[in-house]
């Protein structure tokens, strides 16, 4: 089961609640708390990801704050792989490396501890977030990993909001796997 059948996809998709006009008018928010709050759906997803990534020889699974942490940490524990958080600015206590990225108005930044991958030479890394919209956050996370010796072997998103991004450039830099599309 390296990717899901259409029936399995619609089962998972139905477990995600959509909320209109959150956090502001015009946004359809995909609420994954209903997926992780459903024991069957959450474990179905984790079983699938664990099977997909079992043979990748991963050294680290990196999760993007904050919903990415839920899936990345749970999968890391299943695969007995280390977990690394990528966080918003000024959240991590030790020395960090950082990557700026542009938003519609202004900039944001993601950070990671400088020694996050120091336990393994040329570490193989899987990057995980819950959802890819414009792709700005994921690109910044990939740029951050590129500042290290580690190699991002795949970026995995539970849900891809296709209309908002073009994964072309991104997927030339790393493999991309989106469990679901909307």
Rg value, the chain, Cα: 16
Look at residue 22 and give its three-state secondary structure: coil
- Footprint (CB under 6 A) of ligand AMP, residues 58-77: 64, 67
Min CB(88)–ligand AMP separation in Å: 11
- Residue 57: alpha-carbon gap to chain centroid: 18
Strands 107-113 and 96-102: antiparallel
**Does the active-site annotation cover 104?**
yes
The rounded distance, in Å, linking the Cα atoms of 153 and 137 is 17
Yes or no: say if 176 and 128 are a contact pair by the CB < 8 Å rule: no
The stretch among 2-10, 39-47, 88-96, 136-144 that binds ligand AMP (CB under 6 A) is 136-144
Q: Which of 7, 40, 80, 104 is catalytic?
A: 104
The stretch among 6-14, 26-34, 43-51, 142-150 that binds ligand AMP (CB under 6 A) is 26-34
130 binds ligand AMP (CB under 6 A): yes
Residues near 109 by Cβ (< 8 Å), separated by ≥ 6? 88, 89, 98, 99, 100, 101, 140
Instruction: Pick from 10, 14, 17, 27 the residue near ligand AMP by CB under 6 A.
Output: 27
**Does the active-site annotation cover 169?**
no
- What element of type H or E holds 6? helix 6-14
Neighbours of 26 (CB within 10 A): 6
127 binds ligand AMP (CB under 6 A): no
148 binds ligand AMP (CB under 6 A): no
The rounded distance, in Å, linking the Cα atoms of 123 and 113 is 15
30 binds ligand AMP (CB under 6 A): yes
15 binds ligand AMP (CB under 6 A): no
132 binds ligand AMP (CB under 6 A): yes
The stretch among 22-30, 82-90, 142-150, 171-179 that binds ligand AMP (CB under 6 A) is 22-30
- The residues of the shown chain that bind ligand AMP, judged by CB under 6 A, are 27-30, 64, 67, 129-138
């Amino acid at each position: 089961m390296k990717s899901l059948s259409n029936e399995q996809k619609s089962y998972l998709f139905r477990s995600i609640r959509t909320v209109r006009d959150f956090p502001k008018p015009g946004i359809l928010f995909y609420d994954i708390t209903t997926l992780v709050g459903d024991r069957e759906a959450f474990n179905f997803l984790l079983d699938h990801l664990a099977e997909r990534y079992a043979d990748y020889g991963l050294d680290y699974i990196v999760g993007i704050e904050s919903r990415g942490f839920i899936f990345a940490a749970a999968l890391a524990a299943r695969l007995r792989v280390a977990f690394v958080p990528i966080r918003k600015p000024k959240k991590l206590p030790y020395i960090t490396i950082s990557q700026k990225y542009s938003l519609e108005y202004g900039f944001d930044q993601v950070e990671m501890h400088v020694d996050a991958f120091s336990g393994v030479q040329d570490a193989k890394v899987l990057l995980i977030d819950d959802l890819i919209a414009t792709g700005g956050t994921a690109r910044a996370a990939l740029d951050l990993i590129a500042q290290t010796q580690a190699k991002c072997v795949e970026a995995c998103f539970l849900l891809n909001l296709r209309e908002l991004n073009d994964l072309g450039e991104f997927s030339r830099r790393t493999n991309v796997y989106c469990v679901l599309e909307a």
